[in-house]
A and B are shown apart, each in its own frame.
Chain A
Amino acid sequence: MSNVLEVKNLKTYFYTDEGVVKAVDDVSFSVEKGKTLGLVGESGCGKSVTAMSISRLISPPGRIAGGEILLSGRNLLALNNEEMRQVRGSQISMIFQEPMTALNPVLTVGFQIAEAVLAHERVSRREAWSRAVEAMRAVAIPDAEKRAKDYPHQLSGGMRQRIMIAMALVCHPSLVIADEPTTALDVTIQAQILELLDSLREEYHLSLILISHDLGVIAEVAETVAVMYAGKIVEIGPAMDVFHNPKHPYTQGLLRSVPRLGSSVQKKDRLDVIEGMVPNLLHLPDGCSFAPRCYKKTVECTLSPIPLEPVSERQEVRCIHA
């Protein structure tokens, strides 16, 4: 299977007055054609910065400090700004959490989708408009011709997110990065949007990076899962293995601490917890960043950085006790 995207040793640092924040620190993964990679982790773990780095949308004081990002074999970090601008929207596109802030309130949604076509392809305005309407049909917006003339505020949250997806797909990109695409939506609407993303991925052989803090959302759609903590991938592998046989104590703790539907069969008084809280990225402990909260911690964990190592053919874990 060919990889559409390969990220190798990506480092994105923020040079603040208080010190260097290593938001993404030596992250590597790949996404196969037509597959979905799920990036999961809590706030500040670096999952969104990873996404922004792939599209090269990091602004000062942040900078990509090292690594390679290969899109169909081409290193995006070697492109100049104009070349990169051509890549964005046509080969890589993004879907954000809050569709209301990602859309321009004074332009019709049809115009905004058509704009993406005009930016990347030599087509007439009429042609761009009909492509926009077609994209809106593809994301199952009823009455697409009429809705295309609506402004964002006239649409519901779920419909706006469909518009964002239409905009992301209209130029047939090979990679779509969806950053918490359903977090602002209600569960019944979330189910619709996840189902839509998955069916579009299949239909257009898209590669998808889905970023979420919600383990349930990741489990629904991702084939491969990468768990991030404090700027690093701590565990990566096929979703089945990571969810059914988690090896990193952080992954284990996360999976145990979420309340499960159906828990009233056997009611537990208390949830299992991960003690403590996420460390400040400015003052990371030596060795394993998770060690201060880890039940398996030994002296060895705190001496030197822990490498990500294979525990099976397909699963890699950053823990010496795995």
Chain B
Amino acid sequence: MPDVAEPILSVRNLKKYFPIRRGVLARVAAHVKAVDDISFDINKGETFGLVGESGCGKTTAGRAVLRLIEPDTGTIRFDGIDLLSLSSQQLRRRRRDMQIIFQDPYASLNPRMTIRTIVGEPFAIHGIARGSERDDRVANLLKTVGLDPSVLGRYPHEFSGGQRQRIGIARALALKPKLIVADEPVSALDVSIQAQIINLLGDLQQQFGLTYLFISHAIPVIEHISTRIGVMYLGKLVEVGTSAQICLAPKHPYTQALLSAVPIPDPGARKQRVVLKGDVPTPINPPSGCRFHTRCPIAIDRCKVEEPPLRETQDGRDAACHLVE
């Protein structure tokens, strides 16, 4: 049998535009093209990293995949089912298999709920396990994420940022999901705590065979945790490849600039970098042609008019650039 990895999630031509309304009649004046026609696959058991700067659409993409934000067009096949064709009833049942972990562990836990209620809520919603059985399950989940089960009756404010993130992870694991979207799960944490949570996510993936869509702006974190990486710029995927392809030998000029901007914790390694001119343009009226042409160090005339499609390159990765072979 050939060992062909089979995608658990298959996203095609996903688009999400947010209308901007103006005037007393709230007429739609323009659109923020947050996610503009992106396609990618995630294989079972792998971690797909989505990386980019603020406003590139990575968070919108992550939420649209779970239909937490309703996409405008496109298809999302998850575990053989077209998610966009489901009614809200059917979708709620499917949600057991897809969970999310948020960035801010201070904002994503209800301060008035005990840990028992927070982590037990998925069971309550889906009518699984009651009373002491539910408590047992919650206690087990807490143990799984490295918390002492004696904290069941306590409230979120009694925990540190790292511990709260563990609680958020326990909640996401409650229904034994297949896919977890992790949206900047370690960005709000201190360096020494970050490493603990990254390791925990890795351990859980092995233990439960989880698939992750891992969203972050922190490239070293993405590189460490991901099997494959997609780089986004202004609502588009500009390069998709294995973690080594993207981080050791980036081909798209944006990926190259992004990587060269990452500060290296080694004073001996100060290097020549591609410093990009200017700011990221607004996604309301993105530049014509290739969206990166306004800041690209190697742009040619063709880039201003013709949008480069994301296509396979010689070494098997995908890149959206006229100048990449």
Which A residues lie at the B interface, using CB under 8 A?
42-43, 156, 158-159, 186-192, 194-195, 213-220, 222, 239-240, 243-244, 253-255, 257-265, 267-275, 277-278
CB of B66, distance to nearest CB on chain A (Å): 25
The answer to whether B219 and A261 touch across the interface, beta carbons within 8 angstroms, is: yes
The answer to whether A191 and B273 touch across the interface, beta carbons within 8 angstroms, is: yes
Residues of B within 8 A of A220 (CB): 263-264, 267, 270
The answer to whether A264 and B191 touch across the interface, beta carbons within 8 angstroms, is: no
Q: A243 is contacted by which of B198, B267, B276, B280 (Cβ under 8 Å)?
A: B267
Contacts A254-B191, A277-B193; A188 near B276 (Cβ below 8 A): yes
Report the bound CA distance from A187 to B220 in whole Å: 12
Q: B191 is contacted by which of A156, A191, A215, A219 (Cβ under 8 Å)?
A: A215
Residues of A within 8 A of B113 (CB): none
Determine if B110 is an interface residue (Cβ-Cβ < 8 Å): no
The answer to whether A190 and B248 touch across the interface, beta carbons within 8 angstroms, is: no
Residues of B within 8 A of A257 (CB): 191-192, 194-195
Residues of B within 8 A of A268 (CB): 224
Q: A265's closest neighbor in chain B, by CB?
A: B248
Residues of B within 8 A of A270 (CB): 199, 202-203
CB of A237, distance to nearest CB on chain B (Å): 11
Residues of B within 8 A of A253 (CB): 192
Report the bound CA distance from A208 to B202 in whole Å: 39
CB of B297, distance to nearest CB on chain A (Å): 12
Residues of B within 8 A of A272 (CB): 195
Q: B188's closest neighbor in chain A, by CB?
A: A43
Determine if B30 is an interface residue (Cβ-Cβ < 8 Å): no
Q: A188 is contacted by which of B160, B221, B258 (Cβ under 8 Å)?
A: B258
Interface size for chain B: under 10, 10 to 19, 20 to 34, or 35 or more residues?
A: 35 or more
Residues of B within 8 A of A258 (CB): 191, 194-195, 220, 265
Q: B243's closest neighbor in chain A, by CB?
A: A264
The answer to whether B160 and A277 touch across the interface, beta carbons within 8 angstroms, is: yes
Determine if B301 is an interface residue (Cβ-Cβ < 8 Å): no
Within 8 A of A (CB), among B244-302: 244, 247-248, 257-270, 273, 275-276, 279-280
A-B contact pairs, 19 of them (CB 8 A): A187-B258, A187-B261, A188-B258, A188-B261, A190-B263, A213-B190, A213-B191, A219-B264, A220-B263, A257-B191, A258-B194, A258-B265, A260-B265, A261-B264, A271-B199, A273-B195, A274-B192, A274-B195, A278-B192
The answer to whether B221 and A243 touch across the interface, beta carbons within 8 angstroms, is: no
Residues of A within 8 A of B270 (CB): 219-220
Which B residues lie at the A interface, using CB under 8 A?
53-54, 160, 162, 190-196, 198-199, 202-203, 217-221, 223-225, 242-244, 247-248, 257-270, 273, 275-276, 279-280
The answer to whether A264 and B217 touch across the interface, beta carbons within 8 angstroms, is: no
CB of A264, distance to nearest CB on chain B (Å): 4
Residues of B within 8 A of A195 (CB): 275
CB of B265, distance to nearest CB on chain A (Å): 4
Residues of A within 8 A of B160 (CB): 277
Residues of B within 8 A of A156 (CB): 279
Report the bound CA distance from A2 to B217 in whole Å: 41
Residues of B within 8 A of A262 (CB): 223, 247-248
CB of A308, distance to nearest CB on chain B (Å): 21
Q: B247 is contacted by which of A264, A269, A274 (Cβ under 8 Å)?
A: A264
Q: B276's closest neighbor in chain A, by CB?
A: A188
Contacts A214-B263, A277-B162; A189 near B192 (Cβ below 8 A): no
The answer to whether A216 and B258 touch across the interface, beta carbons within 8 angstroms, is: no
Residues of A within 8 A of B54 (CB): 186
Q: Which of B194, B195, B202 has the most CB of A within 10 A?
A: B195
The answer to whether A187 and B223 touch across the interface, beta carbons within 8 angstroms, is: no
Residues of B within 8 A of A219 (CB): 263-267, 269-270
Report the bound CA distance from A158 to B53 in whole Å: 13
The answer to whether B220 and A240 touch across the interface, beta carbons within 8 angstroms, is: no
The answer to whether B279 and A158 touch across the interface, beta carbons within 8 angstroms, is: yes
CB of B3, distance to nearest CB on chain A (Å): 19
The answer to whether B199 and A42 touch across the interface, beta carbons within 8 angstroms, is: no
Contacts A159-B279, A262-B248; A273 near B264 (Cβ below 8 A): no
Report the bound CA distance from A114 to B258 in whole Å: 35
The answer to whether B53 and A188 touch across the interface, beta carbons within 8 angstroms, is: yes
Q: Which of A215, A239, A264, A278 has the most CB of B within 10 A?
A: A264
Residues of B within 8 A of A214 (CB): 263
The answer to whether B262 and A216 touch across the interface, beta carbons within 8 angstroms, is: yes
The answer to whether B273 and A216 touch across the interface, beta carbons within 8 angstroms, is: no
If A195-B275, A220-B263, A259-B224 are given as contacts, then 15 extra A-B residue pairs at C-beta distance below 8 Å, sorted by A number, are A156-B279, A186-B217, A188-B53, A190-B261, A191-B276, A222-B267, A244-B267, A257-B192, A258-B265, A259-B225, A261-B259, A263-B247, A273-B192, A274-B192, A277-B192
Report the bound CA distance from A262 to B262 in whole Å: 11
CB of B259, distance to nearest CB on chain A (Å): 7
The answer to whether B267 and A240 touch across the interface, beta carbons within 8 angstroms, is: yes
Report the bound CA distance from A253 to B54 in whole Å: 30
Q: Which of A159, A268, A271 has the most CB of B within 10 A?
A: A271
Q: B220 is contacted by which of A42, A186, A191, A261 (Cβ under 8 Å)?
A: A261
The answer to whether A243 and B266 touch across the interface, beta carbons within 8 angstroms, is: yes
Contacts A195-B275, A258-B191; A187 near B219 (Cβ below 8 A): yes
Report the bound CA distance from A187 to B202 in whole Å: 25
